[in-house]
Homo-oligomer: A and B are copies of this chain.
Amino acid sequence: MEMLRIGVIGAGRIGKLHVENMIRMTGLEVAAVSDLMLNDSLKEWAAEMGIPSVTADYREIVQDSGIDAVFVCSSTNTHVQVIIEAAQAGKHIFCEKPLSFDPEQTRQALEAVEAAGVQLQVGFNRRFDHNFRRVKEMVEEGQVGSPHLIKITSRDPYPPSPEYIQVSGGLFMDMAIHDFDMARYLAGSEVVEVYAKGAVLVDPVFRELGDIDTAVVTLTFANGSLGIIDNSRKAVYGYDQRVEVFGSGGCATVRNDYPNSAELVTEAGVRSDKPLLFFLERYQQAYIEEVKQFADCVRGGKPVSVDGKDGLKAELIAHAAKRSLLEGKPVRLEEV
């Protein structure tokens, strides 16, 4: 197998996660990592991971001719610039979501990617989840008939810090964007209209920062089918990630994942453990799968399955949701 040499830009939680997964894969080599906050702790970690090069300047990675592909795991406001430079340097790109907060900028990044003829995969990891992928298969095999309704439950176990909320782009851009992508993925049709209703029920800090913590979004797809998403920043019982697809032929559905299936039955009733805590636990394998598929596509010259256009479309839905929330009425996608 051809060896793929990877540079990782941004070594926060998600950047480190990718590195820790990649060093266990065959056919991949993490050749370099960059982070603005280059400190001793990071250097130690890189040494432990066996990464030969660590830098504060991502351009060293972008310009390193020995590197085949970059993982863009830095903060969202840096994505577009890094993508453009990496594309121009001929690197294939894996970028975390969202590509940017501004569709116009995202379009510029996509143009650079297209002009350079490189691949760009967006980190919509949930498409690689064992449960959701199986539902998608059922839908594609026609087992639910023609889809009528896509229903997505997506609730985080605890809210991010106020610091993060401020730069997150808001619930729709930061959190629901995964669900917008999942809705498109499962429906097999584009969203044409969005109605979003939001509330602050978890913590008043969201209101103070101009954000919401609870949301219900109604989607209308081009094929006439409907979608519902509900989000919360705090589901105390664990990460709640479920989908249902209802169609003319039936319904496909998934449960959450649990740490074990042990059940205790006593006079007091039946008890079992709550769902897996959060995305690191629930999507552990999905994070590995998305990277494997990216590497396979890059090596084999096949188009990646979640590309820049998918990133852009989810962003546009997030923008429409935001506007719908502000204006208190449904918004057509063509308006944003």
A204-225 toward B: CB 8 Å interface, digit per residue (1/0)? 0000000000101010100011
> Does the CB pair B251–A265 fall under 8 Å?
yes
In-complex Cβ contact of A265 among B224, B253, B330 (8 A): B253
**Nearest CB in chain B to that of A141: its residue:** B264
CB distance from A243 to the nearest CB of B (A): 9
> Does the CB pair B271–A260 fall under 8 Å?
no
Cα distance A130–B146 in the bound complex, in angstroms:
33
- A48 proximal to B (CB < 8 A): yes
Which of the candidate stretches A6-14, A98-106, A233-241, A296-304 sits at the interface with the other chain?
A233-241
A76-105 toward B: CB 8 Å interface, digit per residue (1/0)? 000000000000000000000000000000
Give residues 260-304 of A contacting B (CB, 8 Å): 260-275
Copies in the complex: 4
> Given A134-B273, A236-B267, A274-B269, are A214 and B226 neighbors across the interface (CB < 8 Å)?
yes
Which residues of chain B come closer than 8 Å to A328, judged between CB atoms?
Answer: 329-330
- A126 proximal to B (CB < 8 A): no
Which residues of chain B come closer than 8 Å to A252, judged between CB atoms?
Answer: 262-265
Which residues of chain B come closer than 8 Å to A166, judged between CB atoms?
Answer: none
Cα distance A133–B259 in the bound complex, in angstroms:
11
Cα distance A231–B268 in the bound complex, in angstroms:
22
- A249 proximal to B (CB < 8 A): yes
Cα distance A329–B327 in the bound complex, in angstroms:
11
> Does the CB pair A254–B248 fall under 8 Å?
no
A side interface size, CB within 8 A: 70
- A75 proximal to B (CB < 8 A): no
- A5 proximal to B (CB < 8 A): no
Cα distance A225–B127 in the bound complex, in angstroms:
30
> Does the CB pair B134–A248 fall under 8 Å?
no
Cα distance A161–B312 in the bound complex, in angstroms:
44
- A155 proximal to B (CB < 8 A): yes
> Given A197-B218, A328-B330, A329-B330, are A250 and B264 neighbors across the interface (CB < 8 Å)?
yes
Residue with the greatest number of chain B CB neighbours at <10 A, chosen from A155, A246, A274: A246
In-complex Cβ contact of A134 among B197, B234, B262 (8 A): B262
A130-171 toward B: CB 8 Å interface, digit per residue (1/0)? 110111001000011110110101010000000000000000
Cα distance A308–B257 in the bound complex, in angstroms:
36
| Selected A-B contacts with CB under 8 Å, 27 pairs | A134-B262, A144-B264, A155-B246, A195-B195, A195-B330, A199-B225, A199-B226, A216-B226, A218-B218, A228-B228, A235-B246, A235-B251, A236-B249, A249-B267, A250-B267, A253-B262, A254-B260, A254-B262, A254-B263, A255-B261, A265-B274, A266-B274, A269-B271, A270-B271, A271-B271, A328-B330, A329-B329
